[in-house]
Amino acid sequence: MKRTKITLLALASVLLLSCTVQQNVASQPTPQEQIPQNSGNSIDRFADIEVLKYQVPGWNDLSLKEKEYVYYLSQAGYAGRDIIWDQHYKHNLKIRRALEHIYQNYSGNKDTEDWRNFEIYLKRVWFSNGIHHHYSNEKIKPAFSKAYFDQLIQVTNTKLDAKVADILFNNVDSKKVNLDLSKGLLQGSAVNFYGEGITPEEAEEFYAKMKSPDPQRPLSTGLNSKLVKENGKLTEKVWKSGGMYGAAIDQVISWLEKAKTVTENQKQANALALLIQYYKTGDLKVWDDYNTAWVEATEGNIDYINGFIEVYNDPLGHRGSYESVVQIKDFDMSRKMEVLSNEAQWFEDHTPLMAQHKKKNVVGVSYKTVVVASEAGDSSPSTPIGVNLPNADWIRAEHGSKSISLGNIIDAYNAAGGTSRLKEFVNDDEELRLAEKYGELSSKLHTALHEVVGHASGQINPGVGTPKETLKSYASTMEEGRADLVGLYFLYDPKLQELGLVDDWKAVGKAAYDNYIRNGLMMQLVRLDPGADIEEAHMRNRQWVSAWVFEKGKKDNVIEKLVRNGKTYFNITDYEKLHDLFGQLLRETQRIKSEGDYNAAKNLVENYGVKVDQAIHKEVLARNAQYKEAPYRGFVNPYITPVKNTSGQVTDYVLKYPQTFSEQMLRYAKEYSFLPDHN
């Protein structure tokens, strides 16, 4: 999925994934329509994570039928949540269930450091949908001993194979997704997408032999299956009804079928019918048909994302992680941002791309700001703030795409943000002034330009394969960097003021450029352990974009590196020249994608996006240590609860909120556990 995730650091200290610690499970929440605005939206805080609540403005303006539609779609999303756990790691479900059993049945002394560390570990596992960190991909290390864990298992009569229990403490399967070629893309990755003993070369050869019926409309091969060896031959275990994950998928189908009875219009119903057929058959042609129908179903107040979509968790870029987002249209913001969609062709015509790489006709780019009503799978608890779908380039070219901004999620981040860390890393008072005045606006515009214009821009040369085939493990970071560059290029353009989106395009552009360079070269490093390389696709793209323009601009001192009192700062001296450098890099990045130039992609990413300046990293960690804001944030969902009259008829659906993160995760485990421990 083409998506944007953000951090407090990335958005001038206001937009990141992070709360106050409440370690005990609370009783059921009292009914409430909305959280009082002055109550704060922070629900829990542990380790490097804060968990927030988000508002659902406009809920009570929906009709009963619309609420029912949202309810069914949300239930469908939750029904598949166990899939992402198993996709992330083959032992995740049995580990999670063992940890939850201990948590709910331990009656010993809970006023100890060991127990508190156990609670924190469980919450970290919940937040990451597995035992590997949701962002760094490193295995989460318990702060309690193996002996203490063995004691907890024994006194609670918990069942967990000893070899699996050992994995929590040893170095086996230490990385969920490994992109270091020297360690082996598959051998070094714990993600549960490939069977034992399969090499990247075997996998790529397997899919190279799969010819799509229509070469101009290639199928998303490998999107919905696990590749395994049986009797020495490669074969796919397809995720479908009756196949792998069938028990959960059947529940998803059941709720989708209910949703189909209360859609707002026939186009929505037609799309849902195809999604149901896809889940029943696993047919990738049906998946393409569904995406085509879905992208053309633009009328109505309710929309959703559901399926195996995001390929970042597959080091080879084939397999989609399960996720669901259900959303309600934000009419006011959508009207304001629709102007970008209407001008998509102007932006394409004015990009610095080579003429042969420009689209002559940008089709159907729709942009909406939406209000999230529920999230599940790969979108929860850690969530994107911007989404552009579908992924298939040919569908986007022929039928268009949907770009959405998750407005209430952004608002929740803003409500929890602060500026103390920002003040530490800005170079001077003017940079701080621009960030405080225009940081939020510039960030929202960058998200919009990234999604609406960036992912819709450019075209692949005839006869060149898809990026996952040509650019392989570099495809995701190259695509995200390319979309970022489109946004950066147009953020410093008077067109934004002409369209009425800003009142001072230069000031907004400067704030955006300051933030991007500051984050790409310094502030995002707080997410890394000392000595670590960058492996996450978005972090890589922010660094390779920033490091490239920094190096290429040295001759003219476009970005100067300053050291004062032992502290490093980056100061942009010439925004016009930086704008030109962003354009040059965009042109080259699109060329790489259009021509399928693997070696150029590898050189760009490996030379600029992977290795970290260890001295700056050490400095950034030390400067950041004084701030208590968590570097990662995520969300609990409201419970959408039917209200019935004395006759048993549903008369309304109200929103209730969990009192603690633990409460929600235990409730989900009880109500939506449809898969066995081993799949």
Instruction: Give the span between the Cα atoms of 170 and 378, in whole angstroms.
Output: 26
The Cβ of residue 336 has, within 10 Å, a number of other Cβ atoms equal to: 13
pLDDT at 3: 55
Res. 213: pLDDT tops 70: yes
pLDDT at 21: 21
pLDDT at 33: 29
Q: How many domains does the chain have?
A: 1
- 81 within some domain: yes
Does the reported pTM lie above 0.75? yes
Decide if 457 contacts 2 (C-beta within 8 A): no
Give tens-digit pLDDT for 423-434: 999 999 999 999
Res. 8: pLDDT tops 80: no
pLDDT at 38: 32
| DSSP structure class, residue 460 | P
Res. 358: pLDDT tops 90: yes
| Mean pLDDT of all residues in 462-470 | 93
| Mean of pLDDT over the chain | 91
- 257 within some domain: no
Give tens-digit pLDDT for 433-462: 999 999 988 988 998 899 889 998 999 999
Lowest-confidence range among 113-117, 164-168, 472-476?
472-476
The Cβ of residue 577 has, within 10 Å, a number of other Cβ atoms equal to: 17
| DSSP structure class, residue 175 | B
Per the structure, the complete domain to which residue 112 belongs is given by: 37-175+638-671
Give tens-digit pLDDT for 532-543: 999 889 999 999
Q: Facing residues of 307 across strands?
A: 323
**CA of residue 192 relative to chain centroid, distance:** 19
Instruction: Give the span between the Cα atoms of 270 and 259, in whole angstroms.
Output: 12
pLDDT at 597: 98
At 252, the amino acid letter reads: V
Decide if 298 contacts 363 (C-beta within 8 A): no
Torsions phi, psi for 660 (to 5 deg): -140, 160
Long-range contacts, 625-630 (Cβ 8 Å, 24+)? 626/424, 627/420, 627/421, 627/424, 629/8, 629/13, 629/16, 629/18, 629/50, 629/418, 629/420, 629/421, 630/16, 630/18, 630/19, 630/45, 630/47, 630/48, 630/49, 630/50
pLDDT at 17: 26
- 605 within some domain: no
Structure tokens at 606: 């490996």
Secondary structure E strands in 211-298: 225-230, 233-238
Contacts of 188 (CB under 8 A, 6+ apart): 175, 178, 180
Decide if 475 contacts 592 (C-beta within 8 A): no
Torsions phi, psi for 4 (to 5 deg): -120, 125
528-545-347 Cα angle (round to 5): 135
- 152 within some domain: yes
At 339, the amino acid letter reads: V
| Mean pLDDT of all residues in 451-478 | 93
pLDDT at 7: 39
pLDDT at 365: 73
Give tens-digit pLDDT for 492-526: 999 999 999 999 999 999 999 999 999 999 999 98
Of residues 534 and 3, more confidence is placed in 534
| Mean pLDDT of all residues in 629-645 | 94
pLDDT at 418: 63
E strand or H helix at 639: strand 639-644
Q: Return the closest-CA partner of residue 467 out of 594, 582, 580.
A: 594
Instruction: Give the span between the Cα atoms of 380 and 310, in whole angstroms.
Output: 13
Of residues 268 and 417, more confidence is placed in 268
| Mean pLDDT of all residues in 275-289 | 98
pLDDT at 106: 98
Instruction: Give the span between the Cα atoms of 524 and 530, in whole angstroms.
Output: 13
Decide if 109 contacts 115 (C-beta within 8 A): yes
Instruction: Give the span between the Cα atoms of 497 and 672, in whole angstroms.
Output: 48
Res. 603: pLDDT tops 60: yes
- 210 within some domain: no
- 539 within some domain: no
pLDDT at 338: 82
C-alpha distances (whole Å) from 675 to each of 124, 244, 324, 360, 637 are: 22, 10, 18, 47, 22
pLDDT at 74: 98
- 658 within some domain: yes
Instruction: Give the span between the Cα atoms of 323 and 142, in whole angstroms.
Output: 27
pLDDT at 385: 86
- 146 within some domain: yes
| Mean pLDDT of all residues in 126-132 | 98
E strand or H helix at 633: strand 632-636
